Amino acid sequence: MILKLLSGDRPGSVLLSLILLAILVALAGAPFLFDGTRALDTAARICVFIVLVASYDLLLGYTGIVSFAHTIFFGFGAYGVALSALHLGRGFDALIVGAGAGALAAAALAAVIGLFSLRVRAIFFAMITLAVASAVAVLVSQLSALTGGEDGLTYLIPKALTAAARYGEIPTVTLPWPGADPLTLGGQRITGKIVNYYVIFSGALILILFLLRVVNSPFGRVLQAIRENDFRAEAIGYRVVSYRIAVTVLSAVVASLAGALFAIWLRYVGPDTVLSFEIMIDILLMVVIGGMGTIYGAVIGAVVLLLAQNYLKDLMETAAAGLGDIPLAADLLNPDRWLLWLGVLFVLSVYFFPAGIVGRLRRSRT
């Protein structure tokens, strides 16, 4: 049954299965397992980025297409939800219309870029996506009447999804625990924010299961054949250009849906949160660190990088405080240098796991 949901795609290593299971449990129980809004916000971001990175993996890892326009499609979904929430009112219908319109726009733009550039060499496609990404970013900041420019857009989402909605409390359960304190579970208030989180979580879960299905379908196998040897894929009768355009469109649609989820969660969209080139770099890092062409790599890459971005600073603060007496060490671990350490971690991970974390774990099995 589980294997069927995963489309027969076994994680392929006991350790990897355990890690994935731990991530699933942590994300599924995030509102109740971790305290505070920051933890919940990180969990929601992880859900969104897992989908965004996995949709990019479909392009880069499975088909071997390098694109720099992935954030644009992410942005289309996010702005679609933002604009329809602003203009159509505070209802669920507005969210659905916005997500649908964003996905359609993303599909149309991806198809146009693909038709114009995928016939020629791969490097040309990469350059075109770079140009389109810059152009869209400039357009969004210039068309401030529509998009709010650099300030972005703030809008209302249905009240049922905000912290203002109350759905009661989880009854407190006290478990006898061998030791001094009994273990107390529950007691949290269930608010619309938590419902909102589960909308994001289930949306992400469905999209990931969908992507797993796609990569294990006959269509997905053709993508891998194109990555391996596009010349031969064409020679055995696959119209390579059509497949490349189709996967570009599919990946753009999934990215836009991730953007729509992000917009529902944040209640704000702006160029820096959904369109910036930094996000594009993050996506690339996540897919490389996790392991290309595996989908599971996207899951792990997104978790590792987002946790590092959100908590490495705190960790270093604690460490620096602990090392307070030693001059150089404490200085090196100064929280202001967290980006430096993130860089070091990235270099080390690429050096030691060239096939990504998932690639490494799968290989160690044999």
Partner 1 sequence: MAEMVLETRDLTVRFGGHVAVNGVSTGFRRGELTAIVGPNGAGKTTFFNLISGQIAATRGRVLLGGADISRKSAADRTRLGIGRGFQMTNLFPDLSVYENVRLAVQAQQRKGGRILRLAEADDKMRDRTVAVLDRVQMGPEAAKPVSTLSHGDQRKLEVAMLIALDPAIYMFDEPTAGMSPDDAPVVLDLIAALAQDRRKCILLVEHKMDVIGALADRIIVLHNGTLVADGDPAAVMASDIVQEAYMGRRRADV
Give the footprint of partner 1 on this chain (CB under 8 A).
7-8, 213-214, 216-222, 224-225, 228-229, 231-240, 243, 250
Question: What is the residue whose two structure tokens read 């971690």?
Answer: 345
Nearest of 362, 269, 254 to residue 75 by alpha carbon: 269
Quote the least distance from Cβ 241 to partner 1, whole Å. Answer: 9
> Residue 366 CB, nearest distance to partner 1 (Å)?
12
The rounded distance, in Å, linking the Cα atoms of 195 and 166 is 10
Asked if residue 58 lies in contact with residue 47, where contact means CB atoms within 8 angstroms, the answer is no
Buried b (16+ CB within 10 A) or exposed e, 91-124: eeebbebbbbbbbebbbebbeebbeebbeeeeee
* Structure token pair of residue 49: 């980025």
- Least gap, CB of 30 to partner 1 (angstroms): 30
Distance CA 110, CA 67 (A): 11
Could you count the other beta carbons within 10 Å of the beta carbon of residue 154?
14
Residue among 191 and 251 whose Cβ is closer to partner 1: 251
Which CB sits closer to partner 1, 228 or 336?
228
Query: CB 362 → partner 1: shortest distance, Å?
Result: 13
Shortest Å distance, C-beta 118 to partner 1: 14
State the Cα–Cα distance between residues 182 and 176, nearest whole angstrom. Answer: 5
Nearer to partner 1, 95 or 103 (CB): 103
| 71 or 251: CB nearest partner 1 | 251
**Nearest-approach distance from CB 207 to partner 1, in angstroms:** 14
**In this complex, which beta carbon is closest to partner 1, that of residue 134 or of residue 224?**
224
Token output for 357: 């974390």
Cβ(29)–Cβ(201) under 8 Å? no
- Output the six-digit token pair for 337: 């240098």
- Determine contact, residues 303/23, Cβ cutoff 8 Å: yes
User: Smallest gap, in angstroms, from Cβ of residue 219 to partner 1?
Assistant: 4
Name the residue nearer to partner 1 (CB basis): 216 or 273. Answer: 216
Closest Cα to residue 269, out of 78, 3, 44? 78
Taking the complex as a whole, the smallest distance from the CB of residue 224 to partner 1 amounts, in Å, to: 7
Closer of 5 and 173 to partner 1 (Cβ): 5
Nearest CB to partner 1, comparing residues 143 and 235: 235
Cα–Cα distance for residue pair 257/204, rounded to 1 Å: 9
H or E element, residue 269: strand 268-269
Helix (H) or strand (E) holding 153: strand 153-154
Distance between CA atoms of 79 and 223, rounded to whole angstroms? 30
Amino acid at 283: I
As measured in angstroms, the least distance from the Cβ of 222 to partner 1 is: 5
CB nearer to partner 1: pick between 225 and 303: 225
